[in-house]
């Protein structure tokens, strides 16, 4: 049986306080890496993985996100008049099919698990993906596509996984490994933001998930966990108590934590250097900067 995943949830309700004052009026997900908003990277990754329905869990002050996915007829006609076909193509590539996007409001910030649960009625009884747009992953084959392919073999629920330095594990959901198969591990337990001495491993959950619809039932209990919030990690862990499989998938690619300023800057440099039209000028500038810094030491 083919297990098809066609729906993805994008939790985008967060206030983005780490990026104040920018996020006072601009949703964090609209902040740009080079010239594309963070959310566009997430959408493109979902599309590559075969996702057809895009569910955004938003909150007050996120209307710029909805506008971003609307058609821009005025802009398009101006570009057409001026024969700017390349820019027109760039713009068109961001258009979404009518009816492909749904917006749900998370009225209170009760945690990632609660945000995902808010989309339960749109998910029905199908497996679904969750993408956290803060985690940007540069990869030859997009991360979610790698996961969808692996999931066709395994079923169950699957989280993206990556080894992190041991002293950083307490910033993540952490995997207690049952069996290690290399690119895949079977999971014995999951702990959200464990105390350093209690982390079961340094294999961290990264913001890509393929989840069984049963997760929504687990979330119905609204059990609070780390930080007093309803944690998605706990709802996935509950699958194991019900004897259902959970896998960790070590994706091939480089992950940037765009929820932090340093991570965002690193991603900006990496994506800038990866651009054909920028790499000479921008790369040259970075080299110059490095030699100036070295000379000053
Ligand atoms: C969330 C999840 C956590 C995961 C992390 C990955 O945490 O709760 O399990 O490891 O994303 O980025 P957050 O970073 O939103 O606190």
* Closest by CA position to 158, among listed 111, 106, 215: 215
Q: Is the Cβ atom of 192 under 6 angstroms away from ligand 1?
A: yes
Label residue 111 by pLDDT band (50, 70, 90).
very high
Label residue 165 by pLDDT band (50, 70, 90).
very high
Q: Is the Cβ atom of 205 under 6 angstroms away from ligand 1?
A: yes
Q: How far is the CA of 209 from the centre of ligand 1 (A)?
A: 11
Q: What is the pLDDT of residue 284?
A: 95
Q: For residue 116, what are the contacts with CB-CB under 8 A and spacing of at least 6?
A: 9, 11, 57, 130, 215, 216, 219, 232, 235
Q: Is the Cβ atom of 132 under 6 angstroms away from ligand 1?
A: yes
Asked whether residue 68 carries a pLDDT value surpassing 70, the answer given is: yes
Q: Is the Cβ atom of 209 under 6 angstroms away from ligand 1?
A: no
Between 34-38, 60-64, 253-257, the lowest mean confidence (pLDDT) is in 60-64
Q: Is the Cβ atom of 225 under 6 angstroms away from ligand 1?
A: no
Q: Which residue lies with its CA nearest to atom 15 of ligand 1?
A: 112
Q: How far is the CA of 206 from the centre of ligand 1 (A)?
A: 7
Q: Is the Cβ atom of 204 under 6 angstroms away from ligand 1?
A: yes
Asked whether residue 84 carries a pLDDT value surpassing 60, the answer given is: yes
Give the separation between CA 229 and CA 231, rounded to whole angstroms: 6
Q: What is the pLDDT of residue 15?
A: 85
Q: Which atom of ligand 1 is least distant from the CA of 259?
A: 14
Q: How far is the CA of 111 from the centre of ligand 1 (A)?
A: 10
Topology classification of domain 7-259: Spore Coat Polysaccharide Biosynthesis Protein SpsA; Chain A (3.90.550)
Q: What is the pLDDT of residue 16?
A: 85
Q: Is the Cβ atom of 33 under 6 angstroms away from ligand 1?
A: no
Q: Report yes or no: 56 and 63 within 8 Å, Cβ to Cβ.
A: no
Give the separation between CA 204 and CA 197, rounded to whole angstroms: 15
Q: Is the Cβ atom of 194 under 6 angstroms away from ligand 1?
A: no
Q: Where are the domains of the chain?
A: 7-259
Asked whether residue 96 carries a pLDDT value surpassing 90, the answer given is: no
Question: For the residues 87-115, what does the mean pLDDT come to?
Answer: 91
Q: Report yes or no: 6 and 123 within 8 Å, Cβ to Cβ.
A: no
Q: What is the pLDDT of residue 2?
A: 53
Asked whether residue 41 carries a pLDDT value surpassing 60, the answer given is: yes
Asked whether residue 272 carries a pLDDT value surpassing 90, the answer given is: yes
Q: pLDDT tens digits, residue range 276-295?
A: 999 999 999 999 999 998 88
Q: Is the Cβ atom of 137 under 6 angstroms away from ligand 1?
A: no
Q: Which residue lies with its CA nearest to atom 7 of ligand 1?
A: 172
pTM for the model stands at 0.94
């Amino acid at each position: 049986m083919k297990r098809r995943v066609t729906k993805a949830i994008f939790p985008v309700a967060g206030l983005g306080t780490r990026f104040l004052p920018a996020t006072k009026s601009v949703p964090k997900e609209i902040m740009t890496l080079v010239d594309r908003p963070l959310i566009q990277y997430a959408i493109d990754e979902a599309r590559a993985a075969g996702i057809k329905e895009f569910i955004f869990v938003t909150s007050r002050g996120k209307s710029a996100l909805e506008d971003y996915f609307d058609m821009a007829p005025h802009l398009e006609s101006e570009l057409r008049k001026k024969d700017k076909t390349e820019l027109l193509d760039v713009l068109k590539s961001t258009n979404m099919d009518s009816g492909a996007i749904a917006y749900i409001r998370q009225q209170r910030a009760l945690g990632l698990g609660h945000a995902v649960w808010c989309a339960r009625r749109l998910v029905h009884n199908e497996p679904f993906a969750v993408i956290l747009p803060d985690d940007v992953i540069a990869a030859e084959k997009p991360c979610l596509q790698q996961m969808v392919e692996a999931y066709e073999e395994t079923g169950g629920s699957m989280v993206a996984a990556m080894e992190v330095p041991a002293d950083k594990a307490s910033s993540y959901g952490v995997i207690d490994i049952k069996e290690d198969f290399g690119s895949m591990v079977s999971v014995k337990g999951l702990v959200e933001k464990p105390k350093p001495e209690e982390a079961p491993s340094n294999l961290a959950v990264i913001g890509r998930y393929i989840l069984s619809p049963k997760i929504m039932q687990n979330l119905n209990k609204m059990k609070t966990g780390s930080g007093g919030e309803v944690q998605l990690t706990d709802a996935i862990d509950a699958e194991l108590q019900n004897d259902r499989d959970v896998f960790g998938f070590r994706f091939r690619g480089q992950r940037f934590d765009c929820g932090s300023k340093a991570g965002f800057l690193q991603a900006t440099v990496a994506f800038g250097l990866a651009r054909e039209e920028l790499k000479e000028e921008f790369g040259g500038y970075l080299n110059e900067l490095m030699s100036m810094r070295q000379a000053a030491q």
